[in-house]
Structure 1
Amino acid sequence: MPSDTPAGARPPGGKTFFGHPRALSTLFLTEMWERFSFYGMRAILVLYLTAAVAEDGLGMRESTANAVYGTYNALVYLMALPGGWVADRLIGARRSVLWGGVIIAAGHYVMAVPTGWSVFAGMALIVLGTGLLKPNISTMVGDLYERDSPRRDAGFSIFYMGINLGGFIAPLVCGFLGEKVNWHLGFGAAAIGMTFGVAQYVIGRRHLGDAGARPADPLLGADRRRALTRAGIGVAALLLVLTVLAVAGLFTVNSVVNLLTVAIIVITVGYFARILTDQEISSTERSRMKAYLWLFVFAASFWLIYDQAGSVLNIFAADNTDRDVLGFTFPASWLQSVNPILIIVGAPLFAWLWLRLGHRVSTPVKFAVGLVLNGLSFVLMAAAARAAVGGDLVSPWWLVAVFAIQVAGELSLSPVGLSATTRLAPVKYASQMMGLWFLATAVGDAVGGQVARLAETWPAPTYFLTFGLASVALGVGAVMFSRHVSRLMAGMH
């Protein structure tokens, strides 16, 4: 019977991790600590930005803080594109993950410095580091399985548990320290978590075999020098634009956020155009990329709503929920742990479900289910917001129920999307395609950050109901087009 594990990733002595290649454990734990740092900081970011200066916050308006949060998340995932390129063409996925982890840790340590500027400087470093780590560690997970193995979805679901284990612990630790003691101490705890992640990766990389050891399509000689020169010109151009904005007095939080949102959308359109017109990919690969474009739109729409958990829903938790338990008012950020703990419980069930169903349920249909459930969560949130009209504090169980519905949607879409990306990727764009998958999150978060500005001016029930029903309608449309998308996938399920 043929193995699902490529020879280069097959563990010595036949040792496995929950029945999967031993190397999955190293990647699982690295991602767990990286997500601890990311979600720990994310859980308190908007609360810190909107806290009054007298409370050691930055005193931003909610609309601006929501947009900053969305754009920051978007940039984290946007940088997955150049991060994938660096791995594919220069240093390989394995070293990209290592250097990404080091830079992320440095960013969190900078954020721990108790000054206002340190937060933005630290976020810039985290953006760069996550761009190197995030797409490439997922690509390495894909390298552990045959290209069309039904075990891939199960493996990615287990990997997803690592993401959410870190996401569960982080708000409890960083949230308590940030909200109850000092904001920057909460950011410092995130730094320590990423340090653990880097140390674990260095210790466990002996299990990785050949996964990610070399660039997939290395640049050599003159081509390498030309690419690095172009990258340098691009960085210089960005610095020039920022300088012009500063000189013109337009270098404000809002102007930078708006500029970056437009840039993310333009980059997305350009990147798809480049791949679809590349004459070096086969007609089959081009057809699969057309299918992937549909999945990309569905995923971006999903993240537009889903990732408002850390902004709009986080502020709702702080301002509109009764968090008193036996005289102790627990931090609002603790509710950010509900989502990941539900995923930890649900991920094995969905891994079993996808393995049991095999190819009987197509990838586009799984995406459609995710969109419908995501929309229904906001419909329920509209009811919660209506109950809070007039200043009444509502039970936090409303948010727990909303997160439970979103989790079911996420497990229908996100790990399946990771797996689909590695299956549909043209060989030439292996790591970069994983970056393109994260670009769907970038587009969703960037547009979602702008959309979230409306939460400050629209009545809350209207806001949640409008975007909830829109997501349900899109999910129904995705079902209608599922057969067409499946045909474009050309034999992939």
Structure 2
Amino acid sequence: MAAKALQAHQKELFGQPIGLYILFLTEMWERFSYYGMRALLVLYMTASTLGDDPRGIGLGWTSKEALALYGWYTMLVYVMSIPGGMIADKLIGQKKAVLYGAIILCLGHAVLVLTDIWAFYTGLGLVILGVGLLKPNISTMVGGLYKTGDIRRDKGFSIFYIGINLGSLLATMIVGGVVAKWGWHAGFGLAGVVMVLGLVNYIGGQKYLVQVGNFVESAKDENEVSYAKLYGKLISSPTQLLFTGILFAASLIGWYFMGWAYGLLFMFLTAISALLMMIYKGLDTQVYKDRFVVLLLSFIMVIIFWGAFEQAGGLINLYTDTKTNRVLFGWEIPTVMFQSLNAGFIILFATFIAGIWAKRKLKGKEASSIFKMATGIIIMGLGFLFMVFAALEFERSGTSSMIWLVLAYLFHTIGELCISPVALSFITKLAPMKYASLMMGVYFAATGLGNKVAGVIGESASEFGELYIFSGIVIFTVIIGILFVMILKPLKRLTHGAEDNEVEMHTDETEGFELADN
């Protein structure tokens, strides 16, 4: 039985492990459920309570209130990836974490079908917990399908990324129509149904995942250090203790001036910062320490990128609903459908963009992960120029053309393809193996912080206006991207050649991985 399972694990489809496609489909249905609800969330919260909206009764919140909750929700979905990664690393392994996360997600979407306000908050809470378990660990499992130095890794993550966006595309194309006909809660229910499909697919494909995501008892590894012991060592580390104390004091100040929610967030970030400092201190060699630093610096780009990009679900979503001429050939396109542009463009261009970078690398041209990510920020930032043009047109005529949205989403998508799948792959190359899931969790937490930043930026539009916000995003993101390009060489040196020896590899069904002729 074990031999048959191993043979199943080794099989390939289109040059990639079959396990990739099991994870692809699981993530596709999970992302359908997430993006379907994400597309509805702000619109549902701002919909009237008087019953005059054909989509049903909403919560009647102001745009500022809705964007504030949207920012907290989308942040927590990703921040919970840190404890999700820890649970996988220390208790149950990535494979079971994905399973339990999928089950909790099914329960969360089932609760959201109910119309009571308690069900709304409870459902959101369960979705946050479920994604926190599933998201970082399924991505780590994708990396585990490949040997070190396998050039197929980046392309594998790009294929996996297509699954994410195919789910998003299907959700944003279908959910809007479902809501238009049967109401908001039917859309939430549909998200739950497809999450069940993802769960069934994952359970049925276990024979192709026998070698990845398994829990390894930490007691068997003499070098393994528990997170509790890392925190314990903080007492005897003056520099790290001082910095943690400063952050904790800042958290208390934030609590006093900004409220308990921000105070708790800052305290959580203080705890994570302390843990990361102790992990860095405990790494065995300078090579590992340098790579760890580069990884953390790359997360700065992640936060900035998603802080701008996630306007799609918030500010741009509301702008589309209220200020864009959505009529095409006499038919008014549902607002939700415009978010399918991003997913559609990703499906069209993902392998093409990955191929361009692979060819550059094989030709000896600059194609490092840091360079790709900096380029992605610049391209995405330039996409907001089209939203500037849209805002200018609205100021002149009282409406704006949908072509600006199409072009903005196109540039945002190209930028996303240069940073998001690349960052996932980069983590699996640089992160210390025993902290792999934790670092994937930190990456998604950085994504979550970017989502919160997006919510804060969106809230400020009610005071400063969309034109000011869109213009500021263009300037800031382009400057940050250029700065990272300028410091590219020293950052590459700190990776100590982690990406220098990637070669084309393939899997033989009986002999394992072999080098292919270049």
- One fold, TM greater than 0.5? yes
Which structure 2 residues correspond to residues 431-442 of structure 1 after superposition, within 5 A?
Answer: 431-442=437-448
Identity %: 38
Residue 179 of structure 1, CA deviation: 4.3
CA contact (8 A) 1:387 1:394 kept: yes
Which residue in the other structure is 1:178 paired with? Answer: 179
- C-alpha spacing 1:390/1:11, structure 2 compared with 1 (3 Å): farther
1:382-410 Cα distance to aligned partner (Å, 9 max, x none): 11111112672222221111010011101
Q: Tell me how far apart the structure 1 counterparts of residues 155 and 165 of structure 2 sit (CA, whole Å).
A: 15
Q: Partner of 1:389: helix, strand, or coil?
A: helix
1:200-250 Cα distance to aligned partner (Å, 9 max, x none): 101111111211122374699xx99989xx9xxxxxxxxxxxxxxxxxxx9
CA contact (8 A) 1:154 1:354 kept: no
Which structure 2 residues correspond to residues 242-321 of structure 1 after superposition, within 5 A?
Answer: 255=259, 258-259=262-263, 261-263=265-267, 265-277=269-281, 279-321=282-324
CA contact (8 A) 1:264 1:442 kept: no
Q: Does residue 48 of structure 2 align to residue 52 of structure 1? A: yes
CA contact (8 A) 1:90 1:218 kept: no
Q: Tell me how far apart the structure 1 counterparts of residues 60 and 261 of structure 2 sit (CA, whole Å).
A: 17
- C-alpha spacing 1:301/1:268, structure 2 compared with 1 (3 Å): farther
Q: 2:354 aligns with which of 351, 361, 366?
A: 351
Which residue in the other structure is 2:334 paired with? Answer: 331
CA contact (8 A) 1:51 1:59 kept: yes
Q: Which range is displaced more, 12-21 or 45-54?
A: 12-21
- C-alpha spacing 1:198/1:320, structure 2 compared with 1 (3 Å): same
Q: 2:470 aligns with which of 453, 464, 467?
A: 464
Q: Tell me how far apart the structure 2 counterparts of residues 290 and 25 of structure 1 sit (CA, whole Å).
A: 32
Residue 456 of structure 1, CA deviation: 1.2
Q: Tell me how far apart the structure 1 counterparts of residues 176 and 46 of structure 2 sit (CA, whole Å).
A: 15
Which residue in the other structure is 2:235 paired with? Answer: none
Residue 18 of structure 1, CA deviation: 2.4
Q: Partner of 1:492: helix, strand, or coil?
A: coil
Q: Partner of 1:46: helix, strand, or coil?
A: helix
Structure 2 unaligned residues grouped into runs of 5+: 52-56, 233-254, 500-518
- C-alpha spacing 1:106/1:51, structure 2 compared with 1 (3 Å): same
Q: Normalization by structure 2: what TM-score? A: 0.84
1:404-435 Cα distance to aligned partner (Å, 9 max, x none): 00111011111110000011111220111111
CA contact (8 A) 1:377 1:402 kept: yes
The one-letter amino acid of 1:266's match is: T
Task: Provide runs of 4+ in structure 1 moved above 6 Å.
Answer: 7-10, 223-227
Q: Which range is displaced more, 337-346 or 68-77?
A: 68-77
The one-letter amino acid of 1:475's match is: G
Q: Tell me how far apart the structure 1 counterparts of residues 163 and 361 of structure 2 sit (CA, whole Å).
A: 23
Which residue in the other structure is 2:251 paired with? Answer: none
Structure 1 unaligned residues grouped into runs of 5+: 1-6, 231-249
Which residue in the other structure is 1:102 paired with? Answer: 103
Q: Which range is displaced more, 350-359 or 360-369?
A: 350-359
Q: 2:16 aligns with which of 17, 20, 28?
A: 20
Q: Tell me how far apart the structure 2 counterparts of residues 367 and 331 of structure 1 sit (CA, whole Å).
A: 32
Q: Normalization by structure 1: what TM-score? A: 0.88
Residue 256 of structure 1, CA deviation: 6.0
1:76-95 Cα distance to aligned partner (Å, 9 max, x none): 11111111111111111111
Residue 268 of structure 1, CA deviation: 4.7
Residue 119 of structure 1, CA deviation: 1.6
- C-alpha spacing 1:75/1:484, structure 2 compared with 1 (3 Å): same
Which residue in the other structure is 1:62 paired with? Answer: 63
CA contact (8 A) 1:371 1:409 kept: yes
Q: Tell me how far apart the structure 2 counterparts of residues 9 and 413 of structure 1 sit (CA, whole Å).
A: 35
Q: Tell me how far apart the structure 2 counterparts of residues 297 and 98 of structure 1 sit (CA, whole Å).
A: 30
CA contact (8 A) 2:9 2:209 kept: no
Which residue in the other structure is 1:165 paired with? Answer: 166
Which residue in the other structure is 2:32 paired with? Answer: 36
CA contact (8 A) 1:67 1:257 kept: no
Residue 38 of structure 1, CA deviation: 0.3
- C-alpha spacing 1:13/1:48, structure 2 compared with 1 (3 Å): closer
Q: Tell me how far apart the structure 1 counterparts of residues 371 and 227 of structure 2 sit (CA, whole Å).
A: 45
Which residue in the other structure is 2:245 paired with? Answer: none
Quick check: which has more Rg, 1 or 2? 2
- C-alpha spacing 1:386/1:98, structure 2 compared with 1 (3 Å): same
In the alignment of these two chains, the number of paired residues is 460
CA contact (8 A) 1:161 1:347 kept: yes
- C-alpha spacing 1:319/1:483, structure 2 compared with 1 (3 Å): same
Q: Partner of 1:134: helix, strand, or coil?
A: helix
Q: 1:447 aligns with which of 436, 448, 453?
A: 453
1:288-322 Cα distance to aligned partner (Å, 9 max, x none): 01111211101111010001100001001100111
The one-letter amino acid of 2:339's match is: Q
Q: Does residue 384 of structure 2 align to residue 388 of structure 1? A: no
1:145-187 Cα distance to aligned partner (Å, 9 max, x none): 1123221111100000000000000012222222443111111
CA contact (8 A) 2:307 2:454 kept: yes
CA contact (8 A) 2:82 2:441 kept: yes
CA contact (8 A) 1:9 1:144 kept: no
Q: Which range is displaced more, 294-303 or 393-402?
A: 393-402
1:255-285 Cα distance to aligned partner (Å, 9 max, x none): 56544553454355334323222x2443211
Q: Tell me how far apart the structure 1 counterparts of residues 139 and 4 of structure 2 sit (CA, whole Å).
A: 17
CA contact (8 A) 2:6 2:211 kept: no
Q: Tell me how far apart the structure 2 counterparts of residues 186 and 351 of structure 1 sit (CA, whole Å).
A: 34
Which residue in the other structure is 2:112 paired with? Answer: 111
What is the CA RMSD across the aligned residues, in angstroms?
Answer: 2.5
Q: Partner of 1:196: helix, strand, or coil?
A: helix
